[in-house]
Structure 1
């Protein structure tokens, strides 16, 4: 591959490529030229918000005529070569061994649950009509969601319910922490205020997963004033939100940055388990804007980090053993996890894990797992090397997750 583009072919037939080239047409052409295996059945594209999305869509249509495409803007790409600050990551699924259908859900800020359920069921029906005779094939769903619609919780809840047991995993689109807006790509169309759902059936062993590296401390905050539609908190414990948070972490409010929020996320307890509610930014009025839904009366715990490398190593090693070797991991990593890893100078060790376990994906403004929208988490789908299929996920894990939600 040229133009600084790198890639590889995986035993399952999926091809991956990544580039930091900012010339859209050259980057796409180089990626397409490097894909040796044909025919390609479906393409996932994770791209820099600095790209002109229309130019990208047009270039993809030229390079991959007749191939279905889905993707979104990011706050950085993920590849075995490491985190990509610009450019794009492309995942090409072969026609053999994978059956894939996708749909775009529009106007998600005023989502109609019945319409979403109908769209999901239509996708499932398409897959049913193309299902192979193999009894051991497995299904999973990928979600890509516009973070600025503030609708992930509603979208994930509606989609997960309609999927009727098919496991869901995904990420919210990003825009390099500029907070101006994200872009969704589906077919030859560009969307905002939208979500893309990709439904996959495969002959290969797969498992969805999530991992994080925080644990709650004793310090608690009660949200005493908030704008729930904007995910904005004005007061914690009846004090100005930024002041109360900064005091707890030992900082001056004027010195709060994304690095601060990455180092000390907040968490809410749901069904006996803590889930992150990360802060995205501090506004001039002293309010804190969150990546996840937040409501007045919510009790938040201040957390402290565990070893991020150790936690991720343990989860990927477990998946590697369970699936008889990892062929590919499509991952969705909260951008705050990368900032935290960089501040602790352990990002090179994270990159080594990407390389060792063939991780590709993007850095997000939120992560989806089953029926939950999460923060400061790494979620993903692990694809095994063998053709002897294991279960999609451990039944105990799914059962307990279903009970919590």
Structure 2
């Protein structure tokens, strides 16, 4: 048993030409599964139809936060590989039918052949605000299925994101891909921020908007700017990408990336916030070196790596391209609105999957 991975990419702005370009690059690779990430600027009905008509295997796909019309595809080939897909519809309205769907995933995982492992990849509407409950539900109900996930993006417009299901790119949906593998794999995650600054108290939050309205009883943006030695009118995407909020949640310190400052002075985040939480202003660190170190450990544990999947928070500002984590291994990167790892929805991190080549 051996796994082969190949990555193809196209910068063609014409969606059909981009797909044909990718097809040509993968023509001699007998895919058993495809993972597809594309800019939301592509013609999604055209791409959805092309995938439905010409991809002769299961497809996991979503839109990314890429700001250029790029199309990236990872093809996985292995006679013993199987990919089963499960959709969660209307995820923004709550846990409708989620229990039955997770039960179906659990049943499918139990049918895995002797000696095989199961692996999950979750792709979810990045503006549904469903990631927290969905990641937690999957993690608690599927204890024997390791998984990671990513939140779809829309080129920083924060208007609408899409996940591919049943031949169509759709909003308000999540898709869980259950891989049945006869080869090893290793999941890892790299934190991107260091805690810094004086403790602050979130005195008013809008949970539904994921918005921090007040800190220490004052407008949130004003206090956030002051903590950085700035005026509120000096805040910009470059500032909040480098300085996420760090929240104290139980015994953990978790990052909350800021997507934008609203007209009411609220800090709108990409993950859950709540009134009463203690926060500090974090500082992004150079995590590429840490990521390479974690990947190196995975490679040592598994041996030869066939492919590498990285889910990278779109608000991270890396000095190096993640594509260069291992120049000798096909690497696919999703620029996401959040990462799901160990049952949590995270920001300002990179979640990684190293796929072993096997024998």
Fold shared, TM-score > 0.5 on shorter chain: yes
Contact preservation (8 Å) 2:185, 2:356: yes
* Offset of residue 309 of structure 1: 2.5
Query: In the TM superposition, what are the counterparts of 1:18-33 in structure 2 within 5 Å?
Result: 18-33=9-24
Contact preservation (8 Å) 2:29, 2:75: no
* Offset of residue 280 of structure 1: 0.9
Instruction: Name the CA distance, whole Å, in 1 between partners of 2:122 and 2:196.
Output: 32
Q: 2:105 corresponds to which residue?
A: 123
Q: 2:320 corresponds to which residue?
A: 347
* Offset of residue 358 of structure 1: 3.4
Q: Does 1:273 align with 2:252?
A: yes
> How big is each residue's C-alpha offset from its partner over 1:197-237, in whole Å with a ceiling of 9 and x where there is no partner?
11112111101111023221241221111111111111011
Query: 2:195 is paired with a residue of what secondary structure?
Result: strand
Q: 1:186 corresponds to which residue?
A: 165
Q: 1:69 corresponds to which residue?
A: 59
Normalised by the length of structure 2, the TM-score is: 0.93
Query: In the TM superposition, what are the counterparts of 1:252-331 in structure 2 within 5 Å?
Result: 252-331=231-310
Q: 2:46 corresponds to which residue?
A: 55
Q: 1:139 corresponds to which residue?
A: 118
Residue 141 and residue 382 in structure 1: after superposition, are their counterparts in 2 closer, same or farther (change >3 A)? same
Residue 286 and residue 181 in structure 1: after superposition, are their counterparts in 2 closer, same or farther (change >3 A)? same
Query: In the TM superposition, what are the counterparts of 1:153-164 in structure 2 within 5 Å?
Result: 153-164=132-143
Question: Greater helix share, 1 or 2?
Answer: 1
Residue in structure 1 matching 2:212, options 211, 219, 233: 233
Instruction: Name the CA distance, whole Å, in 2 between partners of 1:374 and 1:361.
Output: 16
* Offset of residue 301 of structure 1: 2.0
Query: 1:164 is paired with a residue of what secondary structure?
Result: coil
Contact preservation (8 Å) 1:14, 1:92: yes
Structure 1 unaligned blocks of 5 or more:
1-10, 77-83, 388-405
Q: Does 1:207 align with 2:182?
A: no
Query: 1:311 is paired with a residue of what secondary structure?
Result: helix
* Offset of residue 182 of structure 1: 0.4
Instruction: Name the CA distance, whole Å, in 2 between partners of 1:223 and 1:356.
Output: 46
* Offset of residue 295 of structure 1: 0.6
Contact preservation (8 Å) 1:100, 1:127: no
Structure 1 stretch 173-182 or stretch 314-323: which is displaced more? 314-323
Structure 2 unaligned blocks of 5 or more:
none
* Offset of residue 189 of structure 1: 2.4
Normalised by the length of structure 1, the TM-score is: 0.83
Contact preservation (8 Å) 1:101, 1:127: no
Query: 1:149 is paired with a residue of what secondary structure?
Result: coil
> How big is each residue's C-alpha offset from its partner over 1:286-340, in whole Å with a ceiling of 9 and x where there is no partner?
1110000111111112222332232222212222222223321111000111xx2
Contact preservation (8 Å) 1:111, 1:155: no
Residue in structure 2 matching 1:379, options 344, 348, 351: 351
Contact preservation (8 Å) 2:197, 2:227: no
Please tell me the root mean square deviation across aligned C-alpha atoms, in Å: 1.9
> How big is each residue's C-alpha offset from its partner over 1:166-200, in whole Å with a ceiling of 9 and x where there is no partner?
11201100111111110111130231111111111
Structure 1 stretch 222-231 or stretch 316-325: which is displaced more? 316-325
Residue 215 and residue 379 in structure 1: after superposition, are their counterparts in 2 closer, same or farther (change >3 A)? same
* Offset of residue 274 of structure 1: 1.5
Aligned length: 358
Q: 2:7 corresponds to which residue?
A: 16
> How big is each residue's C-alpha offset from its partner over 1:238-263, in whole Å with a ceiling of 9 and x where there is no partner?
11100000111122212212221121
